[in-house]
Amino acid sequence: MSGHDTPIPMTASQSGPLSGVAEIPGDKSISHRSLILGALSVGETKITGLLEGEDVLDTARAMRAFGAEVTQHGTGRWSVHGVGVGGFSEPADVIDCGNSGTGVRLIMGAMATTAMTATFTGDASLRKRPMGRVTDPLALFGAQAYGRKGGRLPMTVVGAADPRPVRYTTPVPSAQVKSAILLAALNAPGETVVIEREPTRDHSERMLRGFGARLSVERTAEGNQITLLGRPELVAQTVAVPRDPSSAAFPVCAALIVPGSDITVPGVSQNPTRNGLYTTLVEMGADIAFENPREEGGEPVADLRVRFTGALKGISVPPERAASMIDEYPVLSVVAACAEGTTVMRGVKELRVKESDRIDAMARGLEACGVRVEEDEDTLIVHGLGAGGVLGGATCAVHLDHRIAMSFLVLGLAARKPITVDDGAPIATSFPIFEGLMQRLGASLRRA
Ligand code: S3P
């Protein structure tokens, strides 16, 4: 739903060693896609491990508004009775995607090639985010979009009555844009081709295939070329949603900066389009063991054993790794503040159009905590103060961004003085059990 009324300030204080097992909830990207693909399939899709965060619940409501029957059977256990490709019915009211860029952009794609009109809105954060990156390629299918200045929500999309297939090279590395095009392509005749110069998370490709679409991926000189044949009959599936590596990042990074910590985080995705943070942390000298590698819910996963060493060092993160860890830069910059030396993060301008301008939000908050930071449009540089070196003692602004809130709360566990975030409520969009999970590991976390 569109935002919350009452901010929930939260404070994190220096904590003793974190220990125990962190059971991370379901992956947000895969949860959205399970509901949407379930709604576009014929038959009943059964989902286990669905993330019951606000973002995903908004997508569940949206799928009902387009005519699918979406039912919760127990914690994380859901079913979706789909209407088939091209079977959406016109929603009777505005679709409110709350805080979720993934939700709104994927759903716009899913309805853009069906003859109907839908109006989308979201909370104050989502209403600031650019939708042109999705509506430009959707226009090539024949869809029209009417939004606020700069392609902002609220926005009305008129789906194409007679859609054409499309060939499109994405101008920004974005799985949301790629996925919106692939979902639109489902109801266009013939072959749609999406080319991405830098690979982004590939859950849509894996899942579309799993639901029966004919989709191929070819590596070319231009980048990954994804071809989807339109008008398939998608067939309902059983989906076991794996745990979210982006949520796992918070307890993992907390254990790396809180002295004496030793935690286990089972079932963390090792999908190469998602695991850039873990590669980076190991390069910084983190003690992370990747145990019991296996497959869960169609994703390669491992159990992570994470131990504090106090010997992290700053590194330069290769810009070509950005897409595989785009949501993890805020918490990486927290680890960087607690490392020796400088961490340079280049090629990260996409961070400026997330739930908040994450370069700005992290830079201002880290500075308030006594950390020296440099930034330009596409770069964030953090000058580390070493283990135990961050002063803290500040209140950091969250700007309706769950990952900014969780990042500063993690920093507060290792800083010398407590750190408060002005609003912890957005954490519920992606990691509703964060507070209790962290407390059980030994984190000193409370509502201020
Ligand atoms: C997502 C894609 C990424 C990511 C977001 C989830 C997805 O966004 O930041 O949290 O599920 O496709 P972009 O496509 O804008 O990079």
Return averaged pLDDT per consecutive 10 residues of the chain, 448 residues in all: 76 98 98 98 98 98 99 98 98 98 99 99 98 98 98 98 98 98 99 97 97 98 97 98 97 98 95 97 98 92 97 97 98 98 98 98 98 98 98 98 99 98 98 98 96
Residue 247 Cβ contacting ligand 1 at under 6 Å: no
Residue 174 Cβ contacting ligand 1 at under 6 Å: yes
> In this predicted structure, what is the pLDDT of residue 142?
98
Dihedral sign, Cα of residue 292, residue 251, residue 429, residue 390: negative
Atom of ligand 1 nearest to the CA of 28: 11
> In this predicted structure, what is the pLDDT of residue 1?
44
Q: What CATH architecture is 10-26+242-447?
A: Alpha-beta prism (3.65)
Residue 34 Cβ contacting ligand 1 at under 6 Å: no
Burial class (CB in 10 A: 0-12, 13-18, 19+), 126: buried
Dihedral sign, Cα of residue 351, residue 357, residue 358, residue 360: positive
User: Is residue 327 annotated as a catalytic residue, yes or no?
Assistant: yes
Ligand 1 mean position, distance from CA 426 (Å): 17
28-240 and 10-26+242-447 share a CATH fold: yes
What pTM, to 2 d.p., does this model score?
0.98
Task: Give the residue from 136, 134, 221, 130 showing the smallest Cα distance to 175.
Answer: 134
> In this predicted structure, what is the pLDDT of residue 298?
83
Q: CB under 8 Å to 319, separation ≥6 — which residues?
A: 346, 347, 348
Token duo for residue 199: 């690979």
Q: Is the peptide bond before 91 cis (omega within 30 degrees of 0)?
A: no
> In this predicted structure, what is the pLDDT of residue 4?
61
Q: Which of 35, 56, 102 to mutate to test the pocket of ligand 1 (most atoms within 8 A of CB)?
A: 102
Residue 131 Cβ contacting ligand 1 at under 6 Å: no
> In this predicted structure, what is the pLDDT of residue 448?
86
Greatest Cα pair distance in the chain = 62
Instruction: Please state, in angstroms and rounded to a whole number, the distance separating the CA atoms of residues 327 and 29.
Output: 12
Q: Give the residue ranges of DSSP H helices in 386-429.
A: 402-412
Instruction: Please state, in angstroms and rounded to a whole number, the distance separating the CA atoms of residues 196 and 285.
Output: 32
Task: Give the residue from 213, 191, 205 showing the smallest Cα distance to 84.
Answer: 213
Sequence spans of domains, the chain: 10-26+242-447, 28-240
Q: What's 28-240's CATH class?
A: alpha beta
